[in-house]
Amino acid sequence: MRILGIDPGSETTGWGVIEDDGRRYRLLECGAICALKAQRFPARLLRIANALEEIIQRHNPDACSLEDGFLATNVKVTLKLGQVRGVAMLVAERAGLQIHEYSPRLVKQTVVGHGNAEKFQVQQMVKNLLSLASVPEPHDAADALAVAICHFHHARSAQRLMTAQTAAVLPKHSLDGLSIRRPVRRRIS
């Protein structure tokens, strides 16, 4: 499975594409989409959309995982972040990708082991989990990779749970495949 992780930001949007073979993760590419400070905000959104479309075409991911929004102290910052997230979701939806959202706390808890982890701890774990020589730069790219790793972890858990539930619901077949074993009801007198 191939995942595009996105860490949305109005000035810098981090992204990373990783693959999973069931045993380990492999980094394909990561980077950041940097907006020019002089650009009008709608032009920044267009730049982010165009860059994400190009990344999706180049890597053909199976799904997209986004860091969920958080409430900043400045309402304008929160609204702009929401708009960037909307653009990223629109691009992913248009490409037909499954979209998964994870809170920053859940990403930290999944990757590091506790939800109050510091940024450098997340970056070090991303480096270790992807067997990299150094921490991915810029830090927005490392954050995007952490979101993708978080998705792999939770997608695997969901798949295992679904498999277990399906196995519990399906009837047991006999070895010849013709008869179905039904529960034996005994009457106690």
Confidence class of residue 178 from pLDDT cuts 50, 70 and 90? Answer: very low
pLDDT above 90 for 163: no
Q: Give residue 168's pLDDT.
A: 53
Q: Is 111 exposed, middle or buried (0-12, 13-18, 19+ CB in 10 A)?
A: buried
Mean pLDDT of 44-71: 93
Catalytic residue annotation: 7, 67, 140
Contact status, residue 87 vs residue 94, Cβ threshold 8 Å:
no
Residues 89-98 as b or e (16 or more Cβ within 10 Å = b): bebbeebebe
Residue 73, SS3 per DSSP: coil
Residue 15, SS3 per DSSP: strand
Q: Is the peptide bond before 138 cis (omega within 30 degrees of 0)?
A: yes
Contact status, residue 84 vs residue 47, Cβ threshold 8 Å:
no
Domain 2-169, CATH class in plain words: alpha beta
pLDDT above 60 for 58: yes
Name residue 23's amino acid: R
Q: Give residue 180's pLDDT.
A: 46
Residue 13, SS3 per DSSP: strand
The mean pLDDT of the chain is: 85
Q: Which of 142, 66, 135 is nearest to 104 (CA)?
A: 66
Mean pLDDT of 62-71: 87
Angstrom distance (rounded) from CA 47 to CA 52 = 9
Mean pLDDT of 52-81: 89
Q: Give residue 182's pLDDT.
A: 47
pTM of the model as a whole: 0.81
Q: Give residue 75's pLDDT.
A: 85
The length of the chain, given as a count of residues: 189
Residue range 103-155, pLDDT digits in tens? 999 999 999 998 888 889 999 999 999 999 999 999 999 999 999 999 988 87
Confidence class of residue 95 from pLDDT cuts 50, 70 and 90? Answer: very high
Residue range 70-92, pLDDT digits in tens? 666 788 888 999 999 999 999 99
Contacts of 181 (CB under 8 A, 6+ apart): 171, 172, 173, 174
Rg for the chain (alpha carbons), in Å? 21
Angstrom distance (rounded) from CA 140 to CA 136 = 9
Contact status, residue 43 vs residue 31, Cβ threshold 8 Å:
no
